[in-house]
Structure 1
């Protein structure tokens, strides 16, 4: 073989080997409301970095329980700030890794156009049969929904009509499939590029519920994984921020 060609083949082989040895997998636990944004972010991150993202989705409380029972998660994107803070207090995270990646918004949504008015008066009329929310014990958006109902003085009036999803994805599905006429869901589930993507909605004023600050952390299992650090850095960058904002979150 030509000596120059031999050197080129060797260099390409070394480059490929280096790329393979530096690529890694990162296992992440993600709050259900952030499913669509993280899928979009992960695809771009994988293309840019060569790393692979393996994601599991669920209610924040449920994911916390899995983490405490040894689930192999390396990064946790919660739907609140209190659960990551608790993990930090319990010594379960890489020190200094906790940060707010998004501020969530609550919306009252119906799959039917014109059903929900822009002021949410449909709640006070109370003419619906079912109102879907996430489980307030495990899903921060479900807790926010109960705070809104209490603020409106409607907790007892609508209590017989509540349908609880185990997480905000199931709460959304109850409405999307028509099993509930309306429900409190995450704005990110029904919002894209500046508008509600279908049905009708009331974006709940943010002073009606406690701020939904969504924090992320690197868990102890990921402290030595370069892919975990790289993903967190990417989440803090402008490309991820653009995706997050496109789904209606604040930063």
Structure 2
């Protein structure tokens, strides 16, 4: 009987016997959905994700300097492609895991109007955005303001965040009255928006924010992804994961 119980426990533990910990660099805009996906992934596969959140441009520099990330979930397509070309990522491993949307948001329910005219009125002291030099959502915000012809009048009011996560924190904390953020950040839970006022910036005003994931060299062995890393990229494309990503406002 004891032997039977021992074997039964071994069978139950088998799927987790070779569980790995995967170091994943994640674009700041994808923080909330990725935390939830990481918990689901651990529950379903036994593999742990060690998540680091930040600006895609900063991750690029860290990876080139030897940071041991196994996977990068970027906020753009260009950075993963560049890492492939430069030999820091596994060729042919890129996938598009989300298409982001830019939003202008304020905790003040009366500040941001549905047409974004607040940008022309300029009746605020500070507007937050991610640094456009290395954060794709910051570059998208700059493109939108330039398309609207409001960039020059607003430059003096800019508060630049290291990434879109920091830009969001500037607005949420009141250090800026409004800001350009990822639509996903305005969700306090899947399908439920935070209080405040919001303008969903028309996608015709900025280049598409296609967000690619890529397997980095520490996530591969002998030119092939490890089992855990391959499983993660497959997991991101499964219907349940896609449904959660859509629930945070991504396409």
Q: TM-score, normalised by structure 1?
A: 0.94
Q: Distance in 2 between matches of 1:140 and 1:50?
A: 32
| Partners of 1:168 and 1:185 within 8 A in 2 | yes
Give the Cα separation in 2 of the matches to 1:159 and 1:187: 22
Q: After superposing the two structures, state which structure 1 stretch, 158-167 or 224-233, moved more.
A: 224-233
Moved more, 142-151 or 15-24: 15-24
Counterparts of 1:221-236 in structure 2, within 5 Å, are 221-224=218-221, 225-236=226-237
In the alignment, the residues of structure 2 paired with residue 20 and residue 120 of structure 1 have an alpha-carbon distance, to the nearest angstrom, of: 50
Tell me which structure has the larger Cα radius of gyration.
Answer: 1
* Worse overlay, 171-180 or 8-17: 8-17
Listed as ranges, the matches of 1:26-175 within 5 Å are: 26-175=22-171
Task: After TM superposition, give the deviation of residue 19 of structure 1 in Å.
Answer: 4.0
Distance 1:129 1:189 in 2: 22
Q: Which runs of 5+ in 2 are unaligned?
A: none
Paired residue secondary structure (2:17): helix
* CA deviation map 1:56-94 (0-9, x unaligned): 010000011111111110010000000001001112212
Tell me the equivalent position of 2:238. Answer: 237
Root mean square deviation of aligned Cα = 1.4
CA distance, structure 2, for counterparts of residue 123 and residue 73 of structure 1 = 39
Between 83-92 and 195-204, the greater mean CA deviation after superposition: 195-204
CA distance in 2, matches of 1:48, 1:194: 23
Query: Are the aligned partners of 1:133 and 1:162 in contact in 2 as well (CA < 8 Å)?
Result: yes
TM-score by length of 2: 0.94
Count of residues in correspondence between the two structures: 246
After TM superposition, give the deviation of residue 12 of structure 1 in Å.
3.2
Contact persistence 2:94–2:213 (CA under 8 A): yes
The change in CA–CA distance for 1:193 and 1:26 in structure 2 (over 3 A counts) is closer
Matched, 1:216 2:217: no
